Amino acid sequence: MNSFGINDALPTIITSRISLPRSWFSLLPQLALSLLFFTSLPSIAADHMSHHNHGNMHTSSNTEQASTTITIADPVKIYQPLPGKNMSAGYPMISNGEKQPRQLLSVSAPWAERIEIHTHQHKFGMMKMVKLDNLNIKAGESAHFKPGGLHLMIFGVQQPLPKNLSMTFCFDKDQCIDQMVEVTDY
């Protein structure tokens, strides 16, 4: 008498239910990481927001001296340049509390030759860094600069870096904000 157990039927059941092309299975790790990343975003943002002071910052403007609703989290984090290199990256968080969109036009610092606004784009499976001429910040929203996304590329960094650093962020409407910088190691 032949015995037919569950173990005999299992391979047939599994292979008959999965009929996707093999190339689709190579996407499973990427899909799992994407799902993990996007489901953790709200908790990352909440944790990030709880560790920063978002009060109004020191501003200068060609218009009357009033408090601004553009804020930059204090301090802006930048990385100490690697030995033998004179470039770095910076990661501010800029919030637009106004009812109108605003544009970040430029960033400068006396201790750097130039600072560019960059982002990353994924094309054909490759990540490419792209320079932005300006950055639009929608009304009531924030721009979170972070590795692998929006960031400041800082070229011609003075070495050694001075202890008390600041950067100047210039926006549309002739508004510039000076912000303190914290230098960290990679």
Can you give the pLDDT at residue 185?
81
Q: How many of the other CB atoms lie within 10 Å of CB of 49?
A: 14
SS3 16: helix
Residue type (1 letter), 149: G
The stretch 76-86 carries a mean pLDDT of 91
pLDDT category of residue 186 using cuts at 50, 70 and 90: confident
Phi, psi of 170 (to 5 degrees): -110, 130
List % helix, strand, coil for the chain (3-state, nearest 5): 20, 40, 40
Question: Tokens 């970040």 — which residue?
Answer: 104
| Cα–Cα distance for residue pair 49/162, rounded to 1 Å | 28
% of residues, the chain, pLDDT over 70: 63
The stretch 102-109 carries a mean pLDDT of 98
pLDDT at 177 > cutoff 90:
yes
Work out the mean pLDDT of the chain and round it to a whole number: 75
Which domains occur in the chain, in start order?
6-50 (no CATH), 59-184 (2.60.40.1890)
Can you give the pLDDT at residue 116?
98
pTM of structure:
0.63
| Cα–Cα distance for residue pair 114/109, rounded to 1 Å | 8
Can you give the pLDDT at residue 68?
60
Can you give the pLDDT at residue 160?
80
The stretch 32-43 carries a mean pLDDT of 39
Exposure class string for 1-40: b at 16+ Cβ within 10 A, else e: eeeeeeeeeeeeeeeeeeeeeeeeeeeeeeeeeeeeeeee
Q: Give the residues across from 54 on adjacent strands.
A: none
User: In degrees to the nearest 10, what's the CA dihedral of 156, 157, 158, 162?
Assistant: 160
Can you give the pLDDT at residue 123?
86
Q: How many of the other CB atoms lie within 10 Å of CB of 172?
A: 14
Residue type (1 letter), 77: K
SS3 35: helix
Q: Which range, of 113-117, 124-128, 139-143, averages the lowest pLDDT?
A: 124-128
